[in-house]
Amino acid sequence: MRQPSAPPFNAPAARRLRAALGMGPEHVAYGLRASYGLPYVTPDLVIAWERGVAAPSNPELTALAGVLWCSPGELLGRPQTLREHRIARAVAPEDVAHAVGMDLRAYLRTEESGQWKGNERQSAALARILDLALPDFVAVTGREAKLAELLHSAVTTRWQAYVRPVRKLAPVDPGVLEGVLQELHQDYQGHMAATLSWGGGSRSASQSGQEFLDRIVENFWTAVEKRT
């Protein structure tokens, strides 16, 4: 089975946390060797992590968090996948599997594939145990690509027809959702019209409009946040 990629390591955070404790790289390396059974860790390796030249593995990340008196999540960038969110919350896969009522092997296959197939009850349990905000929940359950597709259609055609389909993927308050879709539709149409009026021609308008669409999911969540 292919090994999953390592979670995003926040090198500047590791450096700041070490400095705040008044520790040098050699102290961190010693702690990892003496307390966590990682005999190969040297000050040079710690410096490489802090410079972003290398990234710690999962066991190394957990050990580093112990030495720096922080949670593993404090040493991560913004999690993107289900596995990264679990690691950021320092939750064992067994605990997640138990919470959602899933066999451990089945849950681990879900992390590996990135495809969440849980029912509504299991999805709610997943969101609770990993403390997932709605945008993160949509992303880790593999719904973001479909959401982008629906939003693309909503802003380029009649947004009213996409309120219900979008809400099935992202259960936002209906009133908020209607306002957001209307706003995005107007922004996109106005952006296209303004670009054309500048004399750029259809090619320029198409490129500018595509840039808007490329950020459609980000724009969507930003607009939702402003209204809630």
Place of tokens 């609770």: 128
d(CA 179, CA 197): 26
pLDDT tens column, 79-136: 878 988 888 788 999 999 999 999 999 999 998 888 888 888 999 999 999 999 999 9
d(CA 25, CA 41): 10
pLDDT tens column, 54-77: 999 889 999 999 999 998 888 987
Distance between first and last Cα of the chain: 42
pLDDT reported for residue 146: 93
* Tokens encoding 193: 């019209």
pLDDT reported for residue 149: 96
**pLDDT greater than 80 at residue 31:** yes
Range list of β-strands (E), 90-192: none
Read off the DSSP letter of residue 161.
Answer: G
Q: What is the pTM of this model?
A: 0.63
d(CA 44, CA 49): 9
User: Which of residues 151 and 192 earns the better pLDDT score?
Assistant: 151
pLDDT tens column, 176-211: 999 999 999 999 988 777 555 445 544 455 666 777
| 3-state secondary structure (DSSP) of residue 9 | strand
pLDDT reported for residue 204: 52
Length of the chain: 228
